[in-house]
Chains A and B, each alone.
Chain A
């Protein structure tokens, strides 16, 4: 009986997705991308009105109005894309996973119709370094301080035969004492705040903390609730952020690898 299952498995082609196809892939997350050459003041105003989590806002920079997009707050609802008259589209590639907080934020000069580069350094090329990273081992402890379980569902998917995180030498471990990295989803609720601190304390140094999902990065749609303390960085230090609601498995892999790469480069 079990033989039938194994035989059937063997007859099928491996569904494993090559790492090159995963990095930067954000299909299924509906992360928006702003096309600066189509921006106008009216459109920018409309975008910030429809955004349910204030991920889009208008800021002054050197006396000029700028459109700000914080990917850490974005839940990928797609309302800006609908309202933008072509100035916002669903991104095909996304390179803001596993980055530092300031790099989850983008800024465009509305009248000049250009991205304000000073704030955001251009992304380094991660791909070339991937294979050297694959020789290392990384033990990850996932921690849920109040997530809706959406991020957990996607993190669980990392171990399926399509993504097979183990091929990168990355394992999920049961105890924070065995972990190199804490992968923290969701807003930190009042009831979980102590447990989050205790878990962080239990991880041996150097501890790498990655905040996952809109809620982990910013509180997301739950920001401002009386029952939450805030984003993960309101309670423990965070090294890297993976936006998305929820981030897809490809975004999670990109983010974990990028966070690891940055840690080693330090």
Chain B
């Protein structure tokens, strides 16, 4: 162990700071850590915490010397600090694992895209050490990055005894596209299109979150009509994702009839979306200031009608799925994520709510049109595949209800306010995406984005998956992985 983690246990010369406490007591939940450069080019590190309703707390510290790792107090900080090290080259003292996270074997040491020139980075070959589990009868199973199916790339390294998984190590960031750097220099409006391509099946959440951050920076109020339509879009996306996830779970246990039924419902929703706004996934709809174009209210009402039917059919099929004994046999007690592990790793979204953590950005930090509605947040504490399925089924019903209400109350008026930004401004925003809390932090100077940080729920949740997998048999891994349904592209960016 010691040769693999040379920094562990060393004394900490970096300056310490007091971690904030939550209003409810105990350490505040870490939301994200990221770097930026001020207008003179000096490095800063931003720590964002959730201290309890309604606001987030941001701590900005200069990064002109070594930083002290907070990963020992808050394990949820580990990946954030490794990314900071890769992107900015900050020395992070006391971080137990400083292996490269984002850049792989072909990337030279000492090249940090956020501060260095990267037009012609040489290709090299360096080594990466996986954690090795040693002992009698232990075998290693390497899976990926290319997987057997229509899925994104990532690498899983299992250490198994017979069928039982002792340890799983993730290696991700195969789909890293330097997205945060690509935002630099874009106009505030064009950034929305890039945000839509961060995680293709959560594109409304990303576009809304990015736009809200720009609106926060430029101190702009979005017209109520735009907020209401955004809310419909966000809930529509959640409904589509949850229906799709339940179908995926059925596919993974060979329950083809229910799986086909779910894909059929999903397709009916996507086709209704084309009728309503011209694209299947609402691409090119949301921009800073509101919506790119106004919606026809009659079309919104039609979409709400399709949602009513799909939601009714979905609840029927969901009941059947949950009552099927062979499904119960596979789903129950598989892949348990304990509440303690979920809390330590600051897990968010349906995964957190299935492990007893009662959090939802829509209720705790209301944004857009959400202040107008009472948001019901289902929570359960079992933490297994079944719990995650039940949470998604319950949330789909809540989303369908919200779409009804928002479509019924749809205000008139304009759907766009022009965005004008003066000087050097920053904005922060968070959105409850289908996978959980999504945050954007943006800096705009002279109308152009100079820094955009994306904290995706998948980045936060991936490190928790190995903990849910340990002790299960390897044949249950695809099911457990599907029940998390994390985005690779959203995580890798």
Real complex partners, A and B? yes
B264 pairs with A1, CB closer than 8 A: no
Selected from A2, A142, A143, the residue in CB contact (under 8 A) with B324 is A2
B268 to chain A: closest CB distance in Å? 8
B38: interface (CB < 8 Å): no
How far is B151's CA from A148's CA once the two chains are assembled, in angstroms?
11
Given A142-B150, A199-B146, A227-B181, 20 more pairs with CB closer than 8 A: A1-B323, A28-B273, A30-B279, A77-B284, A144-B151, A146-B175, A146-B177, A148-B198, A149-B487, A152-B152, A162-B267, A174-B148, A215-B197, A222-B179, A222-B197, A224-B182, A227-B177, A228-B177, A245-B283, A248-B280
**Which B residues are in CB contact (< 8 Å) with A155?**
150
Closest Cβ neighbor of A145 among chain B residues: B153
Closest Cβ neighbor of B118 among chain A residues: A226
Chain B 269-298 near chain A by CB (<8 Å), digits 1 or 0? 011011000111101100000001100000
B152 pairs with A2, CB closer than 8 A: no
A121: interface (CB < 8 Å): no
Given A2-B257, A225-B178, A76 contacting B283 (CB threshold 8 A): yes
B320 pairs with A2, CB closer than 8 A: yes
Of B58-66, B199-207, B373-381, B417-425, the one touching chain A: B199-207
List residues of A (73-107) whose CB comes within 8 Å of B's CBs: 75-78, 82, 90
**Which A residues are in CB contact (< 8 Å) with B281?**
150, 153, 246
B201 pairs with A153, CB closer than 8 A: yes
B194: interface (CB < 8 Å): yes
A5 pairs with B317, CB closer than 8 A: yes
List residues of B (117-132) whose CB comes within 8 Å of A's CBs: 118-119, 121
B140 to chain A: closest CB distance in Å? 19
Interface residues on B, range: 35 or more
**8 CB-based A-B contacts, threshold 8 Å:** A4-B316, A5-B258, A9-B257, A147-B152, A152-B150, A172-B150, A221-B182, A225-B177
B105 to chain A: closest CB distance in Å? 9
How far is B113's CA from A172's CA once the two chains are assembled, in angstroms?
38
B397: interface (CB < 8 Å): no
B382: interface (CB < 8 Å): no
B488: interface (CB < 8 Å): yes
Selected from B119, B193, B260, B292, the residue in CB contact (under 8 A) with A221 is B193
A148 pairs with B197, CB closer than 8 A: yes
How far is B113's CA from A230's CA once the two chains are assembled, in angstroms?
18
A195 pairs with B323, CB closer than 8 A: no
Of A35-43, A110-118, A185-193, the one touching chain B: A185-193
Selected from A5, A161, A226, the residue in CB contact (under 8 A) with B121 is A226
A45: interface (CB < 8 Å): no
Given A1-B320, A2-B324, A15 contacting B264 (CB threshold 8 A): yes
A130: interface (CB < 8 Å): no
Q: Main SS of chain B's interface residues?
A: loop
Selected from B178, B193, B316, the residue in CB contact (under 8 A) with A75 is B193
* Residue among A176, A187, A192 with max Cβ neighbours from chain B (10 Å): A192
How far is B104's CA from A150's CA once the two chains are assembled, in angstroms?
24
Q: Count residues on chain A whose CB falls below 8 Å from chain B CBs.
A: 66
Chain A 119-160 near chain B by CB (<8 Å), digits 1 or 0? 000000000000000000000001111111111111111011
List residues of B (1-18) whose CB comes within 8 Å of A's CBs: none
How far is B273's CA from A132's CA once the two chains are assembled, in angstroms?
34
A57: interface (CB < 8 Å): no
Chain A 1-40 near chain B by CB (<8 Å), digits 1 or 0? 1101110110000010000000000011110000000000
B176 pairs with A189, CB closer than 8 A: yes
B201 pairs with A225, CB closer than 8 A: no
Chain B 451-493 near chain A by CB (<8 Å), digits 1 or 0? 0000000000000000000000000000000000001111000
Given A15-B264, A144-B152, A149-B488, A27 contacting B274 (CB threshold 8 A): yes
**Which B residues are in CB contact (< 8 Å) with A143?**
146
B413: interface (CB < 8 Å): no
**Which B residues are in CB contact (< 8 Å) with A29?**
279
